[in-house]
């Protein structure tokens, strides 16, 4: 009887320790801290970086696309991915970020105020100062959620402990985010780079109590990391993959020049 109890305890300990590990994102969060100019504070150590910027960059999130509507319906509190990506890009020092989002209205508004004579002398919002965006980065998210609840009695022979483990196993689910980043050259409209990334974590659904009515803990402790962490980790994975590819960048050339007919000719 004592050996049976010992085996039950050891198996239970192993089971919950494994679940605790699985509840962590597969990749590091990738986004933390802050950035100011070329300086950073508290940036994730696994985020790829560049010795010097490759150009200026704007981030465009297409909120009319189907992926955005699916993402926003599912995670309405997470909001736009643009601030996340802009922080990541600036911390990496691979690009200088320029504003092309909602704040652009304020940028242009200040110029309108000066033109109307409303600003003080020397405000200096004249023409020819705005920095062009060499590149545009476009994100996309693909999300899937699988409820991996185990069916049947996996631990039935352990008695009460087995029933508890079966109950918890039936509530285990996997959250996975897959992301894509595209990098476009604004002058030519040529796609310079594309990268995909992903991250996943396992969590519990329904706030099921790990220790039942007799314990002080609940399975909700394993779901404290929000879905946003998984999405951030997936974007960090995508961005790291892009930076690695850009380090070996080689321009694509077409004989005769880009956009001048190509080599795949059609019949008359």
DSSP letter string, 16-70: HHHHHHHTS-SS-----SEEETTEEES--TTS---SS--SEEEE---TTSHHHHH
Q: What pLDDT was estimated at residue 215?
A: 37
Q: What is the pLDDT of residue 254?
A: 93
Does the residue 258 lie in any domain? Answer: no
Whether residue 123 lies inside any domain: the answer is no
- Whether residue 193 contacts residue 245, with contact meaning beta carbons closer than 8 Å, is answered with yes
Residue 148 CB coordination number (10 Å)? 12
Question: Residue 64 falls within a domain, yes or no?
Answer: yes
Whether residue 256 is contained in a domain is answered as no
pLDDT of residue 226: 60
Q: What domain range is 28 assigned to?
A: 2-98+133-246
Domain count, the chain: 1
Asked if residue 202 is part of any domain, the answer here is yes
Whether residue 265 is contained in a domain is answered as no
Question: What pLDDT does 213 receive?
Answer: 36
Check if the beta carbon of residue 114 is closer than 8 Å to that of residue 70.
Answer: no
Residue 111: inside a domain: no
Q: In what order do the strands lie in the sheet with 135-147?
A: 96-97, 56-59, 135-147, 172-185, 191-204
Asked, for residue 193, whether it belongs to a domain, the answer is yes
pLDDT digit string (tens) for the chain, length 268 residues: 555 555 555 455 545 555 444 444 444 455 788 899 999 998 888 999 999 999 999 999 999 999 999 999 988 888 889 999 999 999 999 999 999 998 999 999 999 999 999 999 999 998 999 999 999 999 999 876 654 555 555 445 555 555 555 555 555 666 788 999 999 999 999 999 999 999 887 665 544 333 333 333 322 222 334 678 888 889 999 999 999 999 999 999 999 999 998 988 888 7
| Tokens linked to 36 | 């100011």
pLDDT score, position 54: 98
């Amino acid at each position: 009887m004592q050996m049976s109890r010992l085996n039950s305890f050891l198996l239970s300990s192993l089971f919950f320790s494994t679940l605790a590990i699985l509840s962590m994102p597969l990749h590091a969060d990738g986004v933390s801290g802050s950035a100011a100019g070329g300086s950073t504070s508290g940036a994730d150590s696994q985020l790829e970086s560049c010795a010097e910027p490759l150009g200026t960059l704007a981030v465009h999130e297409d909120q009319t696309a189907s992926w955005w509507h699916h993402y926003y319906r599912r995670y309405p509190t997470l909001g736009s991915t643009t601030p996340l990506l802009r922080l990541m890009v600036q911390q990496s020092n691979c690009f200088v970020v320029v504003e092309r989002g909602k704040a652009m209205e304020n940028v242009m508004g200040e110029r309108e105020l000066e033109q109307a004579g409303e600003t003080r002398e020397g405000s200096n919002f004249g023409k020819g100062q705005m920095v062009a965006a060499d590149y545009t980065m476009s994100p996309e998210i693909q999300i899937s959620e699988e409820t991996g609840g185990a069916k049947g009695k996996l631990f039935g022979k352990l008695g009460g402990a087995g029933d508890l483990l079966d109950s918890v196993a039936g509530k285990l689910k996997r959250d996975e985010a897959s992301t894509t980043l595209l990098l476009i050259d604004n002058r030519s409209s040529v796609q310079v780079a594309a990268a995909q990334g992903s991250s996943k974590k396992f969590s519990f659904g329904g706030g099921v109590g790990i220790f039942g009515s007799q314990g002080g803990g609940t399975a909700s402790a394993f779901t404290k990391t929000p879905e946003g962490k998984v999405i951030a980790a997936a974007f960090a994975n995508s961005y790291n993959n892009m930076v690695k590819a850009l380090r070996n960048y080689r321009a694509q050339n077409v004989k005769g020049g880009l956009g001048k007919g190509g080599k795949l000719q059609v019949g008359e």
